[in-house]
């Protein structure tokens, strides 16, 4: 059984080594074949494909594919490029160790703002008696209750922040306020001092956070985006930062990546820009997750029942 590996912008060697090891440990009689576009008409004859932003010609050549595994949790760019034929099911990674790293990133961003850590460092305060921020912990609102959003919510709650969670359909977590649907979004936003976006990009979430909705946040609120850049209307976020309604933003994802040099976010005094590093995909657990899924498929388990099966109509 041949499996194609198409890593595009990702380094090939770590994935090749990690997946080979995971397949061996799972007892899968597979041959992992890296696909190279230098020979676009040379077919591998693979049944499964492990991909990250694959070129269209890959699917033009590989006609025997049964399932496509995406080497990441987000599939918006894969679906937007429309390179995967409609008949081919797609399975994305579910957490695979990314969620805890993203929760760490979010909690650091919250602590940096709430504890005034940005005041220190080169060129900053050198005052041993600098004020220690005190008072009631701010409320953290998490948009998205999937594997990533739920982990972020749990981590924030562990540090003593009041947490509220909004999702498309109601998801409840012990000790947290839960909101669902567009009819409850404004109420959710109005009580969120830190808004954390962990939503996937779909037709429903694109431009969801425009000026009207961001204005519902309390005065001085902060926005943290680890979901997808196109969920936020950039001009509206910048305008609310400039007029003082919002206190700051920590942004890890953007509409265009890499972020262009002339993008205003780079130089804005209230914005922290990071290069999509909040949730790097750990190769070993990701490879194990894929190997386990292929074992299930080889046993006759329907692909639709696998964790991470992508509903194209829903967008994730």
Residues labelled as active-site residues: 228, 276
How many CA atoms lie less than 13 Å away from 204 in the CB half-sphere?
14
Rg of the chain over all Cα atoms, to the nearest angstrom? 21
The answer to whether the beta carbons of residues 315 and 200 sit under 8 Å apart is yes
Structure tokens at 68: 């496509």
Regarding beta strands 271-273 and 246-251, do their DSSP bridges make them parallel or antiparallel, or are they unpaired? parallel
* H-helix segments, the chain: 12-25, 56-61, 76-81, 98-114, 147-158, 185-190, 211-214, 234-242, 283-298
Sign of the four-CA dihedral 34, 67, 201, 76 = positive
How many CA atoms lie less than 13 Å away from 89 in the CB half-sphere?
17
Instruction: Count other Cβ atoms within 10 Å, centred on residue 97.
Output: 17
């Amino acid at each position: 059984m041949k499996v194609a590996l198409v890593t595009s912008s990702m380094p090939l060697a770590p994935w090749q080594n990690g997946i080979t090891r995971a397949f061996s440990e799972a007892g899968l009689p597979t041959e992992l074949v890296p696909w190279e576009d230098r020979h676009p008409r040379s077919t591998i004859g693979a049944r499964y494909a492990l991909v990250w932003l694959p070129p269209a010609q890959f699917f033009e050549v590989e006609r025997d594919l049964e399932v496509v595994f995406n080497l990441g949790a987000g599939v918006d760019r894969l679906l937007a490029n429309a390179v995967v034929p409609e008949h081919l099911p797609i399975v994305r990674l579910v957490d695979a160790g990314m969620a805890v790293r993203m929760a760490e990133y979010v909690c650091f961003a919250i602590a940096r703002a709430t504890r005034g850590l940005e005041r220190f460092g080169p060129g900053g305060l050198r005052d041993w008696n600098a004020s220690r921020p005190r008072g009631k912990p701010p409320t953290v609102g998490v948009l998205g209750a999937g594997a990533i959003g739920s982990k972020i919510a749990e981590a924030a709650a562990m540090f003593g922040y009041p947490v509220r969670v909004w999702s498309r359909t109601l998801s409840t977590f012990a000790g947290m306020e839960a909101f669902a649907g567009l009819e409850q979004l404004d109420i959710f936003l109005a009580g969120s001092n830190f808004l954390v976006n962990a939503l996937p990009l779909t037709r429903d979430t694109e431009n969801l956070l425009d000026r009207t909705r961001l204005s519902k946040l309390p005065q001085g609120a902060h926005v943290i985006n680890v979901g997808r850049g196109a969920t936020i209307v950039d001009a509206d976020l910048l305008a609310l930062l400039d007029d003082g309604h919002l206190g700051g933003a920590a942004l890890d994802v953007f509409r265009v990546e890499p972020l262009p040099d002339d993008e205003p976010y780079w130089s804005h005094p209230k914005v922290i820009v990071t290069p999509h590093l909040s949730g790097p995909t750990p190769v070993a657990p990701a490879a194990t997750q894929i190997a386990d899924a292929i074992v299930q498929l080889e046993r006759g388990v329907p692909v639709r029942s696998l964790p991470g099966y992508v509903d194209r109509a829903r967008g994730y």
